[in-house]
Amino acid sequence: MMGSGALWKHLLLLVSVLASAVTSQDDIPCLRKVFDQSSFVCSCNADYCDTLSDPGDVPPTTYVSYSSSASEARFLKSSGGVDSSPRPDAILLRVNADYHYQTMMGFGGAFTDSAGLNIVALSNATQEKLMSSYFSPSGIEYTLCRTPMAGSDFSVRPYSYDDIEGDVALVNFALAEEDWLYKLPLIQWANSLSQREVKLFGSPWSPPAWMKTNGKFNESGELLPEMYQPWAEYFVKFVEAYESNGAPIWGLTTQNEPLSGFDDNWGWNTCGWTAEDMRDWIKTNLGPTLEAAGLRRLKLMVDDFNRDTLPWYPAKMLEDPEAYQYIDGTAVHWYSDRWVGPAVLSELQGLFPEKFILYTEACEGWDVGGAESVQLGSWSRAENYMMNIIDDVNHYSTGWVDWNMALDMTGGPNWANNLVDAPIIINAEEDEFYKQPTFYAMGHFSKFVVPGMKRIDIHSPDEQIWASAFVDPDMLKYVYVFVNLKDEITDVSIELQGHYINMNIPARSFHTVIYQDH
């Protein structure tokens, strides 16, 4: 029999749960559209787009969960209380909050020329739906975004901010039409829609061709030694130009994919850097130049390339005490993850525990090309995102930044014809866009794992259930994100300090659980 005190407590809890259910804004559901893939996309236009509101305060000792599945839902919300025992035969996910790992910095995507060009081709009202989907409180609330410094392959032409041959004083340095039309307005819009801070970092693909040994944006070429200082000044000019036009900069990477610049067949913008040259340039040019300009507050990241460069490439720079003081972290791309396991991330973290690791680029469709670049409704591509994010954050990545925020129906435009997939695909002819399953994979993290949360342990005994866990700095709010790769409905019990969240989850599904302790 329940004592009357306990009964009242339960009644009050029930009342508060009901009250929050009544007052919380109801979300607009996904408008499904099926193409030729294993799952569906959510279609949005000027009048309609699905939303995801903040769960608000979760009553103590209860949880709220959001689920997405291949066959049914997108961010389907439910809630419940904890139990004192697990379900029989459930897969037991054990959380251990005794030890804290890295502090999370954020999740997001990239403002590329192509993303912006695709977005501004929509009507204003549809643009608003798209930008809100990524940045507003009714969307997945990205907090950490990247932008190329001048052209990348996701531009309609190769260019830099100073294409006047021999202008070493950079008197002709100027932002491009692409910045004014496709990037700055959207970055400002994102900042105004967001109720969180949106941190932005710049990455160069290539210096001006005339600064390089081969005189080209692409193929094999390095920075000429006499251009080391002008190229450092160019970084300062980029930051100043963006910041004076309403786009504060939080960080920089020193070069996108630096080892691609030793490949004679590299089709798009690049610049080759050995680790030794990069180290020397940072300590004699870039570091002191940023410092002299009052920009030491910027987070400086090295590498910005695949796992197969770990730990040796950043280690070569970080082993140097002078270079070390200027470098804040290592940026990593996902393209070799299927061949190189995550142990190299932990190895790097162990060597330089004061320096962060951040995933700064990933996309699907990069290895198939042609008509397969974009797959509208592919669930397996979203599972790859989920597994990769979980694997990376469980090995110290402080966040995960996706590549182009929006591409067209062919996965472009791209001047070098390097077409790929994106979480939002734009059908400009119909003035609509499609939120891919990968959009929801990103959202299962970005909405709920807010910057400042710390990663904690969660152990899954089943190789088809992958999970990550986080706790807020007050140790009150826990966030668990997991993926079910099984083809069947599964019972899962999440254990924290002797109590259990018992869930029955669909086949091929993603979940975020928010639990409030005490």
Ligand X SMILES: *[C@@H]1O[C@H](CO)[C@@H](O)[C@H](O)[C@H]1NC(C)=O
Q: Which residues are catalytic?
A: 257, 361
CA distances from 182 to 146, 187, 387 (A): 14, 9, 32
If binding is defined by CB under 6 A, does position 50 make contact with ligand X? no
Number of residues that bind ligand X (CB under 6 A): 6
Choose, by CB under 6 A, the member of 136, 138, 218, 460 that binds ligand X. 218
Minimum distance from CB of 185 to ligand X (Å)?
8
Residues 477-506 touching ligand X, rule: CB under 6 A, are none
77 or 216: CB nearest ligand X: 216
Minimum distance from CB of 281 to ligand X (Å)?
24
Strands 407-408 and 424-427: parallel
Minimum distance from CB of 218 to ligand X (Å)?
4
405: nearest Cα among 112, 189, 203, 140: 112
269 or 285: CB nearest ligand X: 269
Neighbours of 428 (CB within 10 A): 17
Minimum distance from CB of 163 to ligand X (Å)?
12
401: nearest Cα among 181, 134, 128, 121: 134
Nearest residue to ligand X by CB is: 267
Minimum distance from CB of 124 to ligand X (Å)?
4
Neighbours of 217 (CB within 10 A): 28
Residues 231-290 touching ligand X, rule: CB under 6 A, are 265, 267
Choose, by CB under 6 A, the member of 124, 321, 339, 461 that binds ligand X. 124
Residues 155-184 touching ligand X, rule: CB under 6 A, are 158
Return the structure tokens found at 279.
């180290």
**Alpha helices per DSSP H over 327-409:** 343-351, 379-393
- Helix or strand or coil: residue 281? helix
Q: Which helix (H) or strand (E) holds 175?
A: none
267 or 342: CB nearest ligand X: 267
244 or 265: CB nearest ligand X: 265
45 or 79: CB nearest ligand X: 45
Strands 454-459 and 91-96: antiparallel
Neighbours of 498 (CB within 10 A): 8
Question: What are the φ and ψ backbone dihedral angles of 285, each rounded to 5 degrees?
Answer: -120, -70
Minimum distance from CB of 223 to ligand X (Å)?
18
Listed in sequence order, the residues at least 6 apart from 9 whose beta carbon sits closer than 8 Å to its beta carbon are: none
Return the structure tokens found at 86.
């697990």
Choose, by CB under 6 A, the member of 113, 141, 162, 219 that binds ligand X. 219
* CA pair distance 124, 46, nearest whole angstrom: 8
118 or 218: CB nearest ligand X: 218
Residues lying near ligand X in the complex (CB under 6 A) are found at 124, 158, 218-219, 265, 267
